[in-house]
Amino acid sequence: MGSQGGFGQSKEFLDLVKSIGEARSKAEEDRIVLSEIDILKRKLLEPDVPKRKMKEYIIRLVYIEMLGPDASFGYIHAVKMTHDDNLLLKRTGYLAVTLFLNEDHDLIILIVNTIQKDLRSDNYLVVCAALNAICRLINEETIPAVLPQVVELLNHQKEAVRKKAIMALHRFHRKSPSSVSHLISNFRKRLCDNDPGVMGATLCPLFDLISEDVTSYKDLVSSFVSILKQVTERRLPKSYDYHQMPAPFIQIKLLKIMALLGSGDKNASEIMSMVLGDLFRKCDSSTNIGNAILYECIRCISCILPNPKLLEAAADAISKFLKSDSHNLKYMGIDGLGRLIKISPDIAEQHQLAVIDCLEDPDDTLKRKTFELLYKMTKSSNVEVIVDRMIDYMISINDNHYKTEIASRCVELAEQFAPSNQWFIQTMNKVFEHAGDLVNIKVAHNLMRLIAEGFGEDDDDADSKLRLSAVESYLQLISEPKLPSLFLQVISWVLGEYGTADGKYSASYISGKLCDVADAYSSDETVKGYAVSALMKIYAFEIASGRKVDVLPECQSLIEELLASHSTDLQQRAYELQALLALDSRAVETIIPLDASCEDIEVDKELSFLNGYIQQAIESGAQPYISERERSGMFETTDYHPQDHHEVPSHTLRFEAYELPKPSVPPQASTELVPVPEPSYYSESHQPISTSLVSERESSEIKLRLDGVKQKWGRPSYQPTTSASSTTQQAANGTTSHSDGGVGSSSSKPRSSYEPKKPEIDPEKQRLAASLFGGSSSSRTDKKSSGGQKPAKGTVNKPATVPKENPTPVQPPPDLLDLGEPMATTVSTMDPFKELEGLMDSSSQDGGSNDVMGLYSDAAPVTTTTSVDSLLSELSDSSKGNSRTYQSQTSKGPNTKEALEKDALVRQMGVNPTSQNPTLFKDLLG
């Protein structure tokens, strides 16, 4: 113990620390600490404790509290000590209160006055101590009490005080932005402080301010760049060097600020590119701090508008990082790669091996970072490898927090890129098996829906094969001990629906398994409910097919047990099951039809069965009902089926919205361009059209039309899809979905509406991927095309799309292309229809289509000048393109589902996606 000099301590303290250090067990340590607390309590109560002694007691208190126990009995003494005139005691007091108290503590009020006094002190050390305390002890209410003094200190002669005053002000800003909003200009002013340390300190609050509001600080871009330039040119005093690097922390902060300011700003990015290039050349990559700056440069470059030269330099730096032996640098390299890959996707390929190495590294941190990178790199071609890896890793870790995260990523990737449905189900099984309690319940519902709806293969064969394989895999898994509840729900549901579907397994075998589940997880009511409903379905299918049902004794006892269950839900299910067993086969068939889980449940929201009654009432002089939307004069979307229209003689429900657009129908538009609602209904019900296709076709239609038309024709031609969905099984479905726990009812579409279109998908999609996007770039486009989840991209790209489609003199200025997101430009050169698709999606999501109209009113002159021939060729082009994009879109089960869900949502919201009669194009194109 060579040196206890400096802040001298007594022997007692020394002994305390020593004995704690030598404590063999936690219990021994606790005993020592508790006895120390007793001693301190006693000593603090003694009258006239000498100040030096008191100071030591306080330090001992701080130490004790760090070890765990509560030392609040001594807080008041620490507060008292801050009032002392002796700087040393004062400092100790401040130190103790900053460690003891939170800003809302009752004792703070006793300190505020002292702080105010100390801020005015002549001794700058006292001022510093007070500023230090402010950062921890001042809350929103007490800020005004010290604010004036702190502001005054911004002009203190000592730079150390100025620095700390700025930091304190920054702290106030973080705690309560409104209290210092009028003082923000001070930060700008202090940026010009002649002390570099003070200037560096202002960068911290400025960084915060700029990340909140970029635009108001654009004027500072050149200042920041010139500061950075001066720093890198070693204009600062030597004392700011750190390991031969000039003011590295200032450089890093500046680069962070520049990344904020430069993102999406062409001018700013250009100003910065020069100094960034210099930094790459000058940075010493042999020291840690040099690499820190290099990494910050990479980050900055990935944020600002891409510059090929800088990207190259960044890529070089990354490959240096990845090749290094240091795990820290590898980590930074992987992180940098993940950032850069968004801009230039090809960069990953040359580092494949390094990435694989990192994946197998024993370092957990590095592994996780690499998984994050892989997640960003995933595309349909590599999804199997990546997700398998992720799942293996997920199984191997115990950290629930990260397990949840990686499980949800697996699900996300699997849903997005699943190459085959078989694989998807297997992947989901694994995720459920190992992290079932951690994933979102929606994932389970999606999986059930997917199995129920099939994947759109034309032949039911494939669907039933898939279901069989699901059933088989579940029967294998079901006997595993301790499956997650969510997974058991899925298993029970699938076994109930499809367990006996193709005769491979007998009803008694499946029902035996289900009983086992209900027994083994008897504390889980949800699982039990699912199991009982599944049993009911199994028996119903048996009865319906005319076989005799032998209820297994264990099932019988289960039912009896549940009849007396405390849970009313379970009780009801049991009673239902019991009642069902007594019914004859025809009744059962109607109640629970075979494989009807995804049929639509027809809910006649229009109450059309009351039409006759209404008619009578109106005839006898009643006022017609005006819907709320009409009353408020909004775009009317309540659809009446065309046949209903005949039944209702008056125009009661459609007067406003249908009359309005009439004048805007261009008289020159040939009649076949304008679909009449009724034919569209009939044709559409026979010839199923996915809504995404419909909306796509619509896009080429929009081009021909001016405002208003779309709205008019959109609605009536769309609603037949709804009416087509009504099936004869409506009534029966009520019960099915009830027992399904709501899964069946959430599927919004009859299968007939999209099934027939699937067969040509896979080869088509591959061709598309191969021909349009070589290499890794396809991943992004895939993502984009799936269900149009990123409508924003489409909107951003609008300027780029228009010139492509209209080979007319009206060309937007070239720099328009640069306005979009950096990555979007590369895509747009590849396939304009992708953009078109995104665009349409956005329009159908907005419901209001204002954007689209705005866009096309810009393009209107183009359209009108185009000759009929070019129109036709455009149309055929675009419809080709549309069918291509449509295929890529519906290539995966989940994506179709998403599109449908979205569609359903849109309908719910009362905003119909504007769709178009498909026969229109037939007529046009022959």
Partner 1 sequence: MIKAVMMMNTQGKPRLAKFYNYMPVEKQQELIRGVFSVLCSRPENVSNFLEIDSLFGPDSRLVYKHYATLYFVLVFDGSENELAMLDLIQVPVETLDKCFSNVCELDIVFNYSKMHAVLDEIVFGGQVLETSSAEVMKAVEEISKLEAASNSISLVPKSVSGWRGR
Interacting residues with partner 1 between 55 and 74 (CB under 8 A): 59, 62-63, 65-70
Q: Is 249 in the site for partner 1 (CB under 8 A)?
A: yes
Residues 163-201: b if buried by 16+ CB within 10 A, e if exposed:
bbbbbbbbbbbeeeeeebeeeeebbbebbebeebbbbbb
Pick from 31, 41, 117, 243 the residue near partner 1 by CB under 8 A: 243
- Please give the Cα distance from 834 to 841 (Å, whole number): 11
Let me know: does 889 contact 837? Beta carbons within 8 Å.
yes
Closer CB to partner 1, residue 400 or residue 687? 400
Amino acid residing at 832: P
Let me know: does 652 contact 658? Beta carbons within 8 Å.
no
Closer CB to partner 1, residue 72 or residue 223? 72
Closer CB to partner 1, residue 399 or residue 760? 399
Structure tokens at 842: 């956005």
Pick from 82, 142, 149, 291 the residue near partner 1 by CB under 8 A: 291
- Site residues for partner 1, 383-412, by CB under 8 A, read 399-402
The CA-CA-CA angle for residues 462, 463, 469, to 5°, reads: 90
Shortest distance (Å) from residue 1 CB to partner 1: 6
Closest-CA residue to 81 (of 37, 119, 129, 140): 129
Closest-CA residue to 405 (of 288, 243, 397): 397
Shortest distance (Å) from residue 778 CB to partner 1: 30
Closer CB to partner 1, residue 176 or residue 585? 176
Query: Coil, helix or strand for 122?
Result: coil
Q: Is 9 in the site for partner 1 (CB under 8 A)?
A: yes
Closest-CA residue to 820 (of 795, 845, 844, 856): 795
Let me know: does 212 contact 219? Beta carbons within 8 Å.
no
Closer CB to partner 1, residue 87 or residue 594? 87
- Please give the Cα distance from 892 to 502 (Å, whole number): 25
Closer CB to partner 1, residue 327 or residue 547? 327
Amino acid residing at 838: G
The neighbouring-strand residues paired with 241 are: 246
DSSP3 helix / strand / coil % (the chain, rounded to 5):
70, 0, 30
Shortest distance (Å) from residue 748 CB to partner 1: 34
Query: Coil, helix or strand for 241?
Result: strand
Contact stretch for partner 1 (CB under 8 A) within 100-108, 482-490, 518-526, 845-853: 100-108
Number of chain positions touching partner 1 (CB under 8 A) = 83
- Site residues for partner 1, 260-289, by CB under 8 A, read 288-289
Contact stretch for partner 1 (CB under 8 A) within 218-226, 246-254, 766-774, 816-824: 246-254
- Site residues for partner 1, 647-676, by CB under 8 A, read none
Q: Is 92 in the site for partner 1 (CB under 8 A)?
A: yes
Shortest distance (Å) from residue 401 CB to partner 1: 4
Shortest distance (Å) from residue 414 CB to partner 1: 23
Closer CB to partner 1, residue 280 or residue 331? 331
Pick from 28, 316, 349, 364 the residue near partner 1 by CB under 8 A: 364
Q: For every residue of 883-920, which 3-state class applies, written as one string?
A: HHHHHHHCCCHHHHHHHHHHHHHHHHCCCCCCCCCCHH
- Site residues for partner 1, 123-142, by CB under 8 A, read 125, 132, 135-136
Shortest distance (Å) from residue 11 CB to partner 1: 11
Pick from 8, 47, 553, 814 the residue near partner 1 by CB under 8 A: 8
Closest-CA residue to 882 (of 694, 675, 674, 673): 694
The CA-CA-CA angle for residues 338, 343, 344, to 5°, reads: 90
Pick from 17, 441, 579, 909 the residue near partner 1 by CB under 8 A: 17
Let me know: does 502 contact 488? Beta carbons within 8 Å.
no
- Please give the Cα distance from 479 to 516 (Å, whole number): 9
Shortest distance (Å) from residue 85 CB to partner 1: 11
- Site residues for partner 1, 475-494, by CB under 8 A, read none
Pick from 54, 78, 82, 91 the residue near partner 1 by CB under 8 A: 91
- Site residues for partner 1, 771-790, by CB under 8 A, read none
Pick from 81, 108, 127, 164 the residue near partner 1 by CB under 8 A: 164
In angstroms, the first-to-last Cα distance of the chain is: 97
Let me know: does 116 contact 146? Beta carbons within 8 Å.
yes
Closer CB to partner 1, residue 299 or residue 697? 299
Closer CB to partner 1, residue 240 or residue 539? 240
- Site residues for partner 1, 877-896, by CB under 8 A, read none
Q: Is 295 in the site for partner 1 (CB under 8 A)?
A: yes
Closer CB to partner 1, residue 69 or residue 742? 69
Shortest distance (Å) from residue 336 CB to partner 1: 11
- Please give the Cα distance from 27 to 37 (Å, whole number): 15
- Please give the Cα distance from 27 to 34 (Å, whole number): 10
Pick from 57, 75, 331, 487 the residue near partner 1 by CB under 8 A: 331
- Site residues for partner 1, 202-241, by CB under 8 A, read 204, 207, 239-241
Closer CB to partner 1, residue 200 or residue 799? 200
CA torsion, ordered 726, 729, 730, 733, to nearest 10 deg: -140
Structure tokens at 191: 């940026």
Q: Using CB under 8 A as the criterion, what x/- string covers residues 704-743 for binding partner 1?
A: ----------------------------------------
Q: Is 256 in the site for partner 1 (CB under 8 A)?
A: yes
Shortest distance (Å) from residue 160 CB to partner 1: 7
Let me know: does 204 contact 169? Beta carbons within 8 Å.
no
Pick from 11, 21, 503, 566 the residue near partner 1 by CB under 8 A: 21
Pick from 27, 42, 46, 102 the residue near partner 1 by CB under 8 A: 102
Structure tokens at 172: 């106030």
**604 conformational bin, left if phi > 0, alpha if psi -120 to 50, beta if neither:** beta
